[in-house]
Amino acid sequence: MEKQQQSVPAVRGQGMLEWYEALISAALVLVLIFSFFFRIIQVDGRSMVPTLTHGDKLIVWAAGYTPQRGDVVIVDSYTVYGKPLVKRIIAKGGDTISIDYDAGTVTVNGELLQEDYVAAPTYLGYDVQFPFTVPEGTLFVMGDNRNESLDSRSSYVGCIDERDILGKVLLCFMPFTDFGVVK
């Protein structure tokens, strides 16, 4: 006995419907990836020069990130500043930080930081007195352009709660002249 093949008549527009479904699925996957794993942030201001400049667009790793000294991070806009801040972690909870404004140097737990990323030595001070011990669960952050950065040296910004860190900056992708991994 032979089976007869039945052909299914083609439905007009079925191919187009499949393309729409594929595009919607791809868009949904991208939204999920950028909601839970990555974020895109734009630099506002000069506090991170020379590492980052005003207008740079950044890709930030958010999922499961644990803050580490030296990382460039994004601080959530819920802070008193009102916008996301791009800063570098200098010290973590329990660390003692000292800044010698005459010499322009920063030490953490008695160890002088080798800061090749700063624009100039640290001469600008605010109202936080040093040596300063960072409270547990918080981070002491500073901009790389130390003499033009409002950061944890000021009680206005203060130490940042670790829960207010959106993630670590991985990559600068725009403008293309600044394209690269952020260190």
Q: Which of 25, 47, 57, 149 is catalytic?
A: 47
Concerning whether 47 is annotated as a catalytic residue, the answer is: yes
- Residue pair 174/40 in contact (Cβ under 8 Å)? The answer is no
Please, what's the b/e burial string for 9-34 (b: 16 or more CB within 10 A of its CB; e: otherwise)?
A: eeeeeeeeeeeeeeeeeeeeeeeeee
Q: Which of 25, 87, 155, 168 is catalytic?
A: 87
Concerning whether 154 is annotated as a catalytic residue, the answer is: no
Measuring CA to CA, which residue among 37, 45, 57 is closest to residue 182? 57
Cβ contacts of 90 within 8 Å, gap of 6 or more? 69, 97, 106, 108, 113, 140, 141, 142, 152
Measuring CA to CA, which residue among 122, 88, 128 is closest to residue 105? 122
The phi and psi torsions of 2 (rounded to 5 degrees) equal -100, 140
Phi-psi region of 94 (alpha: psi -120 to 50; beta: other; left: phi over 0): left
Active-site residues, by number, are 47, 87
